[in-house]
Structure 1
Amino acid sequence: MTVDVPAWAAEAAALPYPTVFATVSGAHLYGFASVDSDLDLRASHILPAAEVVGLRTGPETISTDTWRDGVELDVVSHDLLKFARMLTSRNGYVLEQLLSPLVVTTSPVHRELVALAPGLITSHHAHHYLGFAATQERLFAKTGELKPALYTLRVLHTGIHLMRTGEVVADLGLLSSLRYVPTLIDLKRSAEHGAFPDSLRSTVLQDIERLRTELESARDTSALPAHADPAAVEALHELVVRTRLVENEVPASSQGHQTPSP
């Protein structure tokens, strides 16, 4: 995957709390960013213990939407505890954010999370991809735009690959062998909300239905467990506690944007 991440991305992802990680998500991760796509940065931060257990709690989620050098920036960060809870659900979004190869900011805690991720992946993650595909297919039927068609194809391919291999890959260009996908990606890269070519509509709809059936079959025959590995969940719990306690020991005057090692 070749993606030009702006040199200022790390500065743009700076948070008012220590950062566990920041990665690029969205169309850049999916392999079909357009010339006018926004830059989606996804992150996790560490609230100090006083802002978790006290009367005045800090933000579990921080969301900002700004512009930089003509690029719209969408930054969303979850506190480590919230992010860990989402990791133990069947949430494909957080898996893709954590395991994104487009890393803007990292830390020892990030690397521990990445190491734990395989033990948290289950066959039930297929429900996330089936649900998201259904939502995007309805949007495609309503708008006729290229973007939801590509999103539908992308999530189905990612889900199938995950069920078969246990590996998270979000780049449609790497996953799909459908002959028209490169054409659709090229069209998307020229315009964020481009029109879908009518000549391909019936073919794509047939492939979407086939891929949905394929994902359901891959889920039902997957070697992935039905539940997360208890040892991985326990290790995740210990990582959250350890990280929070270490951060609590950092003097308030020197916290800044340091990232503690657990």
Structure 2
Amino acid sequence: MHTDTALLARAGLPVTDLAPVLAEEPCPTLFATVSGAHLYGFPSRDSDVDLRGVHVLPAEDLVGLREPEETRSRIWDHDGVEMDLVTHDLRKFVRLMLKPNGYVLEQLLSPLVVHTTALHAELAALAPAVVTRNHAHHYRGFAGTQWRLFERTGELKPLLYTFRALLTGIHLMRTGTLVAHLPTLLGEVTAPACLPELIDAKTEAEHGAAHMVDGPSAARDVESLHAVLDEAQAASRLAERPSGFDALHDLVVRVRLGERVTS
């Protein structure tokens, strides 16, 4: 894996060189990628930039009496754009990988890479071994949460998040490949015809109202996609349980015992 500044620019990132920011982190950073609306393919002009990744705590932080800082978070302003960096310690991140957690896999496999290492590539290569049929539950639940938010606020953003989650889940169940980019998914999975218009509208305002959406029609579309996800999960050839525990355990031990995190 490598940092592609041209790809980051095409995704609408306001800054593509985050080396100075990452240099200030107290622990080595294994990787940092872009998540959120930029990854999903519908950032607005005022979208925050969500950066996610993994840091590596020294062994003494985990064996001593003090509580380790397993999750670190920073928020700063870059020319009027809010930047948000959240990283987990490698062990915590791998434990999340071993659960049916699509969110961390999206971070790991995001093509929008702002910092990477050889260990990032090694970790990404192990991702297929943790993908299971149960990841459908993650996307079903996330879609449900976002739909309820849309019903409460009437905003376009949670509606697009609802459709994105359902289409990602369906595609994952059918192919075993994780695709989080909604415009790409429209060419892979049968989707409501209104989605290109909704994506275009979202680029204008991060928290704009979904004035162009017919609520009952959207509800039928969401219900239909839930049914498709159920069918895709039932027919999926993915495993019931992850198979990558031993390889991931070995990777964490190697890194913790001193393997350097380098580009």
For 2:222, the equivalent position in structure 1 comes to 208
SS at match of 1:227: coil
For 2:258, the equivalent position in structure 1 comes to 246
**Residue among 106, 112, 119 paired with 2:129:** 119
Number of residue pairs matched?
Answer: 249
For 2:4, the equivalent position in structure 1 comes to none
AA matched with 1:205: A
**Alpha-carbon separation, structure 1, partners of 2:177 and 2:19:** 26
AA matched with 1:125: H
**Deviation digits for residues 54-109 of structure 1, max 9, x if unmatched?**
12243000011211111101110000000000000011100000000000111111
**Alpha-carbon separation, structure 1, partners of 2:159 and 2:253:** 42
**Alpha-carbon separation, structure 2, partners of 1:175 and 1:7:** 25
**Alpha-carbon separation, structure 2, partners of 1:224 and 1:199:** 35
For 1:254, the equivalent position in structure 2 comes to none
Q: Which moved more, 1:61-70 or 1:98-107?
A: 61-70
**Residue among 226, 244, 248 paired with 1:236:** 248
For 1:73, the equivalent position in structure 2 comes to 83
Displacement over 6 Å in runs of 4+: none
Q: TM-score if structure 1 supplies the norm length?
A: 0.91
For 2:211, the equivalent position in structure 1 comes to 197
For 1:3, the equivalent position in structure 2 comes to 11
The CA deviation at 1:174 is: 0.9
AA matched with 2:16: A
The CA deviation at 1:13 is: 4.1
**Alpha-carbon separation, structure 2, partners of 1:44 and 1:151:** 24
Q: TM-score if structure 2 supplies the norm length?
A: 0.91
**Residue among 103, 106, 112 paired with 1:102:** 112
Q: Is the 8 A contact 2:17 2:114 kept in 1?
A: no
**Deviation digits for residues 203-239 of structure 1, max 9, x if unmatched?**
222111100110011111100000011xx21010000
Distance change in 2, residues 1:18/1:139 (3 Å): same
Structure 1: state its 5+ residue gaps.
248-257
Q: How does 1:30-41 map to 2 (within 5 A)?
A: 30-41=40-51
**Alpha-carbon separation, structure 2, partners of 1:8 and 1:200:** 41
**Residue among 195, 199, 218 paired with 1:181:** 195
**Alpha-carbon separation, structure 2, partners of 1:23 and 1:12:** 13
SS at match of 1:56: coil
Q: Which moved more, 1:135-144 or 1:171-180?
A: 171-180
Distance change in 2, residues 1:172/1:166 (3 Å): same
Structure 2: state its 5+ residue gaps.
1-6
For 1:253, the equivalent position in structure 2 comes to none
Q: Is the 8 A contact 1:33 1:188 kept in 2?
A: yes
Q: Work out whether 1:26 is the aligned partner of 2:36.
A: yes
**Alpha-carbon separation, structure 1, partners of 2:254 and 2:114:** 24
**Alpha-carbon separation, structure 2, partners of 1:16 and 1:28:** 27
Q: Which moved more, 1:201-210 or 1:102-111?
A: 201-210
Q: Is the 8 A contact 2:157 2:208 kept in 1?
A: yes
CA RMSD across the alignment: 1.5
For 1:85, the equivalent position in structure 2 comes to 95
For 1:255, the equivalent position in structure 2 comes to none
SS at match of 1:190: coil
